[in-house]
Structure 1
Amino acid sequence: MSGLSNISSPGDVFNADLEGPDALRLLEAHRPVKLGVILVLGVMVTLGNLAVVTVISSAVPGWSRNSRYFLLSLTGADSAFGLIVMPLNLCVSLLKDYSDGPDPFCHIVAFCNATTYSTCMYTLASISLERYIAVFYPLQYSTILTRKRVVLLIAFAWIFPPVLLVPISCPKGIIEVYFSTASLVCNPSYSSNVTYSLTLTGFIFFPCSAIMTFCNLRLWFAAKRQRLKLRKRSCGGSNRSNVASRVLVPVMTIYYACWTPCMVIMIYNATSGSGVPEWVEFVAVWLPTSNGFLNCIFYFWINQSFRRKFHLLVQRLCMGFCPRVGRLLGCAMPLETAVGPGWNNKNALHERSSSVSSTCTLLTIAVETYI
Structure 2
Amino acid sequence: MMINSTQVSYFTLGAYVDTGGFKYLWFMILMCIYVVIVCSNLLLIVVICMNRSLHEPMYLFLCSLFVNELFGSTGLFPFLLVQILSDIHTVSAPLCFLQIFCVKLYAAVELLNLSVMSYDRYLSICYPLHYNTRMTYYTIATLIALTWLYPCVLMVVLLSLTAPLQLCGNIIYKVYCDTHSVEKLSCSDTHVINLFGLVATFSTISGSLLLIFYTYMKILVVCFSGSKQTRQKAVNTCSPHLASLLNFSVGACFEVSQSRFNMNSLPNVLRIFLSLYFFTCPPLFNPVLYGLNLSKIHVICKSLISNI
**TM-score bracket, shorter-length normalisation:** 0.7 to 0.9
Which residue identity lines up with residue 185 of structure 1 in the other structure? Y
Structure that is richer in helix per residue: 2
**In structure 2, what is the equivalent of residue 354 of structure 1?**
none
**In structure 2, what is the equivalent of residue 109 of structure 1?**
99
- Of 140, 156, 163, 2:153 maps to 163
**In structure 2, what is the equivalent of residue 343 of structure 1?**
none
Q: Tell me, what secondary structure is at the counterpart of 1:49? A: helix
Q: Using structure 2 for the length normalisation, give the TM-score.
A: 0.74
Deviation at 1:261? 1.9
**In structure 2, what is the equivalent of residue 367 of structure 1?**
none
Distance 1:56 1:280, change over 3 A: same
**In structure 2, what is the equivalent of residue 332 of structure 1?**
none
CA distance in 2, matches of 1:169, 1:35: 30
| 1:128 counterpart = 2:121 | no
| 1:84 counterpart = 2:84 | no
CA distance in 2, matches of 1:199, 1:175: 23
Q: Tell me, what secondary structure is at the counterpart of 2:47? A: helix
CA distance in 2, matches of 1:105, 1:96: 18
- Answer yes or no: is the 8 Å Cα contact 1:179–1:186 preserved in 2: no
**In structure 1, what is the equivalent of residue 204 of structure 2?**
204
Distance 1:169 1:198, change over 3 A: closer
- Answer yes or no: is the 8 Å Cα contact 1:168–1:175 preserved in 2: no
CA distance in 2, matches of 1:248, 1:91: 34
Q: Tell me, what secondary structure is at the counterpart of 1:186? A: coil
CA distance in 2, matches of 1:64, 1:135: 19
Which residue identity lines up with residue 104 of structure 1 in the other structure? P
For residues 345-356 of structure 1, what are the structure 2 equivalents within 5 Å?
A: none
Distance 1:65 1:118, change over 3 A: same
**In structure 1, what is the equivalent of residue 32 of structure 2?**
40
Distance 1:202 1:280, change over 3 A: farther
Which residue identity lines up with residue 75 of structure 2 in the other structure? I
Distance 1:214 1:39, change over 3 A: farther
Q: Tell me, what secondary structure is at the counterpart of 1:139? A: helix
For residues 136-147 of structure 1, what are the structure 2 equivalents within 5 Å?
A: 136-147=126-137
Q: Using structure 1 for the length normalisation, give the TM-score.
A: 0.63
**In structure 1, what is the equivalent of residue 276 of structure 2?**
286
- Answer yes or no: is the 8 Å Cα contact 2:158–2:196 preserved in 1: no
Deviation at 1:78? 1.2
Identity %: 14
Deviation at 1:298? 2.1
Deviation at 1:223? 3.2
Distance 1:285 1:148, change over 3 A: same
Which residue identity lines up with residue 166 of structure 1 in the other structure? V
For residues 136-285 of structure 1, what are the structure 2 equivalents within 5 Å?
A: 136-167=126-157, 169-170=159-160, 172-173=163-164, 180-182=172-174, 184-189=175-180, 192=184, 193=190, 194-226=194-226, 229-230=227-228, 243=236, 246-247=239-240, 249-266=242-259, 268-269=260-261, 274=262, 276=264, 277=266, 278-285=268-275
- Answer yes or no: is the 8 Å Cα contact 2:258–2:275 preserved in 1: no
CA distance in 1, matches of 2:233, 2:142: 36
Deviation at 1:73? 0.9
- Of 281, 292, 300, 2:291 maps to 300
Deviation at 1:77? 0.6
CA distance in 2, matches of 1:102, 1:92: 12
Distance 1:313 1:37, change over 3 A: closer
Distance 1:68 1:253, change over 3 A: closer
CA distance in 2, matches of 1:9, 1:246: 39
**In structure 1, what is the equivalent of residue 187 of structure 2?**
none
For residues 59-74 of structure 1, what are the structure 2 equivalents within 5 Å?
A: 59=51, 63-74=54-65
Q: Tell me, what secondary structure is at the counterpart of 1:173? A: coil
Distance 1:204 1:88, change over 3 A: farther
Which residue identity lines up with residue 257 of structure 1 in the other structure? V
Q: Deviations over 1:225-248 (max 9, x none)?
A: 44xx43xxxx8x8x9997588545
Distance 1:90 1:41, change over 3 A: same
- Answer yes or no: is the 8 Å Cα contact 2:65–2:113 preserved in 1: yes
> Which protein has the larger Cα radius of gyration, Structure 1 or Structure 2?
1
Q: Tell me, what secondary structure is at the counterpart of 2:88? A: coil
Q: Tell me, what secondary structure is at the counterpart of 1:69? A: helix
Bigger mean CA deviation after superposition, 244-253 or 186-195: 244-253
CA distance in 2, matches of 1:109, 1:221: 43
**In structure 2, what is the equivalent of residue 29 of structure 1?**
19
Q: Deviations over 1:197-216 (max 9, x none)?
A: 32342133343333334333
Q: CA-atom RMSD, angstroms? A: 3.6
CA distance in 1, matches of 2:163, 2:304: 50
Bigger mean CA deviation after superposition, 132-141 or 162-171: 162-171
Unaligned runs of 5+ in 1: 1-7, 14-23, 319-371
**In structure 2, what is the equivalent of residue 364 of structure 1?**
none
